[in-house]
Amino acid sequence: MVKVLISDKLSPAAIAIFKERGVEVDVKTGLAPAELRAIIGEYDGLAIRSATKVTREVLEAAPRLKVVGRAGIGVDNVDVKAATSRGVVVMNTPFGNAITTAEHAVAMMFALARQLPEATVSTKAGKWEKNRFMGVELTAKTLGLIGCGNIGSIVADRAVGLKMKVLAYDPYLTEARAVQLGVEKADLETVLAKADFITLHTPLTDATRNLLSREALAKTRKGVRIVNCARGGLVDEAALYDALKSGHVAGAALDVFETEPATESPLFELENVICTPHLGAATTEAQENVALQVAEQISDFLLAGSVTNALNMPSVSAEEAPRLRPYMDLCRLLGGFAGQLTSAREGSIQRVLIEYEGAAAPLNHRPLGAAALAGLLGPVMEGVNMVSAPVLARDHGIEVSEATHDRVGDYQSLVRITVTSEGLTRSVAGTLIGNGRPRLVEIKGIKVEADFAPHMLYVTNKDKPGFIGRFGMTLADAGVNIATFHLGRAAEGEDAICLVSTDGNTPDAVLAKVRELPLVMQATTLSF
């Protein structure tokens, strides 16, 4: 039975989901780092919020761990790079609190526009300062949206409903999507120069850290108001303080800070700054939604192999998983076949081409490609899997490409993997037969139909009389029993392939004798 640890507080309904799905679950919150490291090795999955820190050290202590699920959007508390290198899927729940966070940003914008917090304090103090709190309307103002993903697009929708003009800066925003949202796609310089209000909705990365730097703030129009409900660190807080003190920035509303919990900050001294303690996702609905989603996602992955909202692996829906699983097995086996042959020769892998034909052509190819790379790199890289394989291929400078073909072939579906190493290119192709069983159908362009077996022996030889007899006798004399025997050749008298499955491993001494046989050009043992 698979086991999941919940190390941060989750809804009882989320715990019930795990149990109903047949997942053994332990709830242990408030663990110190050493306590977490001491027990994490027992678990296949880890469900967290923002309190638990999933560091490299935690991951190194978790040989069984397959998935980390974050109930929420941000994964600043997870070492995603270390998780990827160890083959651990990292998931978040980007949609569960999107509306809640967007609504908080809009609320902050209204509060800034009408100075609501200051007016509340003044009125409760017995003052009646109508003339002091002169606000501005949102109608007809320009909103500069930095980030137009899940949350940003909801803010854009609300702002358009408020009759604001929306300028959106997001490198991934297409013109078609901008038109659909009713916003104008713009570069950052334009947003800074024209916006009356600026809201941020981007993750914190090396590229976005201090996105609103001192230089960027200087480019904004005088009187701009800034809202950040995304991530602390997107705004240079020292530069923002100076801009607020000088009056260049009329006001700021911050739900997030560079250091959290934020118990002190020069910004707290300023009346034109509204601060909340990271409340963007703090609604009853959002907390329930993300907890339920992370429980479903982790369960689906561990029990059915579906991958949803993963940051380091292609998504596979619950509906796709049963259909893709046999193709993923085929791709992994084909990759393993090519990888074992390549690793037996001198030279590193330079390029990989994965081709899909027939019924395989319209499928979701990202997980299939990841499976193929995992099989290919497995013989030479310890612990590689579908999560880490694409990253390892990129890090090793391997060029990976894909192609689909609508042409009608000999098989209902076909996957072909072509591997180019230093001075050598080889391909291997396979299909699914019967109830989805993987089958080899082609090696180096030569037709060879064979099932994958735990122990196999691959031989290339010249197609001349006498080879099969000598080869068979060599194995027989060594007590190696042949289970299946498959032959193929390019043409009469030219290169031929012999692929056999055996009842056990072929000893190295026997393999050496096979290589010494007349007409043999290559002999390699394979295991699957």
Residues with catalytic annotation?
A: 231, 260, 278
Q: Residue 234 has which token pair?
A: 């997107």
Rounded CA separation 305/308 (Å): 10
**Residue whose tokens read 């050290």:** 57
CA distances from 94 to 152, 294, 308, 350, 431 (A): 12, 10, 10, 36, 37
How far is C-alpha 127 from the geometric centre of its chain's CA atoms?
54
**Residue whose tokens read 């990759």:** 335
Phi then psi for residue 20, to 5 deg, are -65, -30
CB 268 within 8 A of CB 252: no
447 strand-pairing partners: 442
Rounded CA separation 297/116 (Å): 40
Query: Cα–Cα–Cα angle for 290, 293, 295, nearest 5°?
Result: 110
Rounded CA separation 440/494 (Å): 21
Quickly count: other Cβ atoms within 10 Å of residue 87's Cβ: 19
CA nearest neighbour of 221 among 195, 241, 251: 195
Q: Are strands 482-489 and 495-502 parallel, antiparallel or unpaired?
A: antiparallel
Amino acid at 512: A
Which residues, at least 6 apart from 324, have a Cβ–Cβ distance to it below 8 Å? Answer: 316, 363, 364, 367, 368
Which residues, at least 6 apart from 239, have a Cβ–Cβ distance to it below 8 Å? Answer: 212, 213, 214, 217
Rounded CA separation 156/109 (Å): 13
**Residue whose tokens read 């930095």:** 146
Q: Residue 380 has which token pair?
A: 């030479």
Q: Residue 149 has which token pair?
A: 């993903």
- The CA-to-CA distance between both ends of the chain, in Å, stands at 25
What is the SS3 assignment for 62? coil
DSSP 279: -
Query: Cα–Cα–Cα angle for 388, 65, 399, nearest 5°?
Result: 5
What is the SS3 assignment for 39? helix
